[in-house]
Structure 1
Amino acid sequence: MSPEEKLDPIPDSFILQPPVFHPVLPYVTTIFGGLHAGKMVMLQGVVPLKAHSPHVICNTLHAGCWQAEVRWPHLALRRGASFLILFLFENEEVKVSVNGKHFLHYHYRLPLSRVDTLGIFGDVLVKAVGFLNINPFVEGSKEYPVGHPFLLTSRRLELPCSRGLPRGLWPGQVIIVRGLVLQEPRDFTLSLRDEAARTHVTLRASFADRSLAWISPWGRKTLIAAPFLFYPQRFFEVLLLCQDGGLKLALNGQGLGATSLGQQNLEQLRELRISGSVQLYCVHC
């Protein structure tokens, strides 16, 4: 069997394309795998000081003709101000939030599966375009997703990267780590520590044997049975959900099981530490 045949299969729904930083407008790109329910597109940017008054028009081009447009006035964007726009694609409609607040929803007039291209035009400065998946552990709930912006050239994201957890972990808390795997990676680890810097649990991706595992404080390895989704020059999103005395894991929007720690241990954790062969774009906890 050749090395290529030994590689894990990569379902389309697992693939997240790398973000785009400071694109030159007009900008057009293919959306890897197309759009599907649960996918999100995030835009970060700045409104130029000389921009025209903002308003929003939604419409659909079908058979070469534009259909009846829908307008939304009073877009809460100011000249010279930063913005974060999040598009959440659901089964029947797309929801759009602006700076963390719901702004509109627009029902599809064509099958979502036919959409595979993103175009950005006009008088705006775009800093980042991200292609993400919704938190799989809240699917079907009324919770509206929050966009956590990419931090560019931030010293707080240099590795090893540490984030304090002043209150420990509690049920419902979500940790999100997004980044890009380097060209010649060796490993990638997320560790949770207490006040005495004792590590209670580690999530480790090993590129040598292409394994993903939980590592206990005593070095015991529990392999996670899932396709290995960390690849050189590929974007990744790790999500940890604290629930019922343990941690649920999702990678690129796909739930991959959980590990048990006990509620008391979760409350004692005070630090998230990240290291390895990656470049970080976002750490939220």
Structure 2
Amino acid sequence: MSSGEKLDPLPDTFILQPPVFHPVVPYVTTIFGGLRAGKMVMLQGVVPRNAHRFQVDFQCGCTLYPRPDIAIHFNPRFHTTKPHVICNTLHHGHWQVEARWPNVALQRGDSFLILFLFENEQMKVSVNGQHFLHYRYRLPLSRVDTLGIFGDILVKAVGFLNINPFVEGGSEYPVGHPFLPKSPQLEVPCSRALPRGLWPGQVIIVRGLVLPEPKDFTLSLRDKAAHVPVTLRASFADRTLAWISPWGRKTLISAPFLFYPQRFFEVLLLCQEGGLKLALNGQGIGTTSLDQPTLERLRELRISGSVQLYCVHH
């Protein structure tokens, strides 16, 4: 690439929005690229012991006046005789018929992890890993571009995620893992033990931020003898993504190079019979072949390069 060549803008579908830690409520933020089926918003926090109510609004804009339409209004209420959750839609300044769910899955004083999973026709909500409700859209999901959080709630983290790109037509909730700020355990290079190796169905998730002047990014899997049968390497000098064999042979991955300076990224490796499938920023982009005995012998995940890490899960 010549020094004067300009990069194509990164498509909205590839943008992963940075997580937000301990925002001050009321909190309003833009949803990068808007909402679409297949996105998920994760909310981690605590319900204060004296909470009356709080709301999470997926808005069509962020103006103060006129008030924007609210495609999805999620509103737990604790101060009534029978605590409940209201979902509704605000259109042209008028609330529509509310939908009500009794037996609130949230309790005053408790921590929670709420997942909002957006499908083609409806939003599904889980609380602490259990399905709680679903709400059919009354306004087009494509109009939503703003998240608002208001009321009696202590928010620890907000995350914007893509669901598992390997599950075609699946409607189950992806596993949600709470975000944590960068800590000593996530310093780069980062090493994580794989006590039982890798088995079909296991997913490795790495989320982070590319540094301003990156050189490379490497994810490797090693066995007990420190052999490295699997290496994924991104080179920023020639903007290539490749599998590196144990003998140093490079196999280029024929896919757009989606690592950008000061942009967030998500790498997923899905273990299946016969090898590993790779996804980057929610898009499945390649595979590498490995037999099951080799996968089972892998005992270490190592990450290095020009990145900050927010999450490493396996």
User: Normalising to structure 2: TM-score of the pair?
Assistant: 0.86
User: Which residue is equivalent to 2:44?
Assistant: 44
User: Which residue is equivalent to 2:186?
Assistant: 157
Residues 182 and 309 in structure 2, CA contact (< 8 A), matched pair in contact too: no
1:1-285 to 2 correspondence within 5 Å?
A: 3=3, 5-8=5-8, 10-52=10-52, 53=78, 55-285=84-314
User: Which residue is equivalent to 2:59?
Assistant: none
Cα deviation 1:214-269 (Å, max 9, x = unaligned): 11111111111222111222111111001122110011110001011111111111
Two-structure CA RMSD over aligned residues (Å)? 1.7
Give the ranges of 4+ consecutive aligned residues of structure 1 lying more than 6 Å apart after TM superposition: none
**Separation (CA, whole Å) in 1 of partners of 2:116 and 2:218:** 30
**Separation (CA, whole Å) in 1 of partners of 2:217 and 2:106:** 38
User: Which residue is equivalent to 2:64?
Assistant: none
Tell me how far 1:6 sits from its aligned partner. Answer: 4.5
More deviation in 138-147 or 270-279?
Answer: 138-147
**Separation (CA, whole Å) in 2 of partners of 1:23 and 1:14:** 24
**Separation (CA, whole Å) in 2 of partners of 1:216 and 1:89:** 39
Tell me how far 1:75 sits from its aligned partner. Answer: 2.4
Q: Which residue identity does 2:22 align to in structure 1? A: H
How has the CA–CA distance of structure 1 residues 208 and 91 changed in structure 2, closer, same or farther, with 3 Å as cutoff? Answer: same
User: Normalising to structure 1: TM-score of the pair?
Assistant: 0.94
**Separation (CA, whole Å) in 2 of partners of 1:148 and 1:220:** 35
Aligned residues: 285
**Separation (CA, whole Å) in 1 of partners of 2:3 and 2:108:** 54
How many percent identity over aligned positions? Answer: 84
Tell me how far 1:76 sits from its aligned partner. Answer: 2.5
Cα deviation 1:149-178 (Å, max 9, x = unaligned): 112243221222111111111111111111
**Separation (CA, whole Å) in 1 of partners of 2:262 and 2:200:** 34
Residues 157 and 179 in structure 2, CA contact (< 8 A), matched pair in contact too: yes
Cα deviation 1:81-127 (Å, max 9, x = unaligned): 32111111000001111111111110001111111111111111112
Residues 181 and 310 in structure 2, CA contact (< 8 A), matched pair in contact too: yes
Q: Which residue identity does 1:55 align to in structure 2? A: H
Q: Which residue identity does 1:44 align to in structure 2? A: Q
Residues 19 and 179 in structure 2, CA contact (< 8 A), matched pair in contact too: no
Cα deviation 1:12-41 (Å, max 9, x = unaligned): 211112121221111111111111110111
Q: Which residue identity does 2:11 align to in structure 1? A: P
Residues 8 and 227 in structure 1, CA contact (< 8 A), matched pair in contact too: no
How has the CA–CA distance of structure 1 residues 27 and 3 changed in structure 2, closer, same or farther, with 3 Å as cutoff? Answer: farther
**Separation (CA, whole Å) in 1 of partners of 2:107 and 2:214:** 42
SS at match of 2:166: helix
Residues 278 and 284 in structure 2, CA contact (< 8 A), matched pair in contact too: yes
Residues 115 and 125 in structure 2, CA contact (< 8 A), matched pair in contact too: yes
How has the CA–CA distance of structure 1 residues 4 and 57 changed in structure 2, closer, same or farther, with 3 Å as cutoff? Answer: farther
Q: Which residue identity does 1:201 align to in structure 2? A: V
**Separation (CA, whole Å) in 2 of partners of 1:37 and 1:226:** 23
More deviation in 4-13 or 156-165?
Answer: 4-13
**Separation (CA, whole Å) in 1 of partners of 2:112 and 2:188:** 27
How has the CA–CA distance of structure 1 residues 55 and 206 changed in structure 2, closer, same or farther, with 3 Å as cutoff? Answer: farther
SS at match of 2:151: coil
Give unpaired runs (5+ residues) of structure 1: none
User: Which residue is equivalent to 2:60?
Assistant: none
Tell me how far 1:135 sits from its aligned partner. Answer: 0.7
How has the CA–CA distance of structure 1 residues 4 and 259 changed in structure 2, closer, same or farther, with 3 Å as cutoff? Answer: farther
How has the CA–CA distance of structure 1 residues 55 and 189 changed in structure 2, closer, same or farther, with 3 Å as cutoff? Answer: farther
Q: Which residue identity does 2:267 align to in structure 1? A: V
